[in-house]
Amino acid sequence: MIRGLYQITLVALQVALLVQIAPPLAQALWRGVASAAFPGSPLALIQVGSAAAAVAGGALALAFPGFALLRHRQRGRARFGGLPRWAVALALAGAAVFASGAALNGVVALFSPNERMAAVLTARPILNAGLALMAAGILCAEVLRRGVGVPRRVGVLRDASQRI
């Protein structure tokens, strides 16, 4: 059950990173490009190329939960067995905090106009805290994963010539 919850946390973190972190990061990286300041100069090409490389590198870095999920799907239970329990607990706690922030965000429309602003201003930090805890837990779990082999079954070899 914990393994399944961890994999759901990987999916939730991947979606949250793509929806909440990737757009502002890409916007900030492109905002730093001042290619118009160097018209017809190779410096403009260097700036645009560097910004594109930063966006591509950021996209790969933000895709780590997806890569971890693929490895878990390939290796099965043996992959999960090597994860530190404290890191898995941190990731699951972050998912719970994130879910509570998302639930609060989802019921904002049910509040009175005065309470809506307080709910929105409360939900944002809760979402951010959950996102940070999920990312920290999953990153620590995957980086600190110990190599655990597949459990082997010991069978008794029987001589075919013996009668039972």
Q: What pLDDT score does 46 carry?
A: 81
Distance (Å, whole) CA 125 – CA 91: 17
Q: What pLDDT score does 36 carry?
A: 65
Of residues 84 and 146, more confidence is placed in 84
Nearest to 4 by CA among 97, 80, 83: 80
Domain spans of the chain, in order of start: 2-143
Distance (Å, whole) CA 137 – CA 87: 5
Task: Indicate whether 92 pLDDT > 90.
Answer: yes
Torsional sign, CA 119, 122, 124, 126: negative
pTM of the model: 0.71
Q: Whole-number mean pLDDT of the chain? A: 82
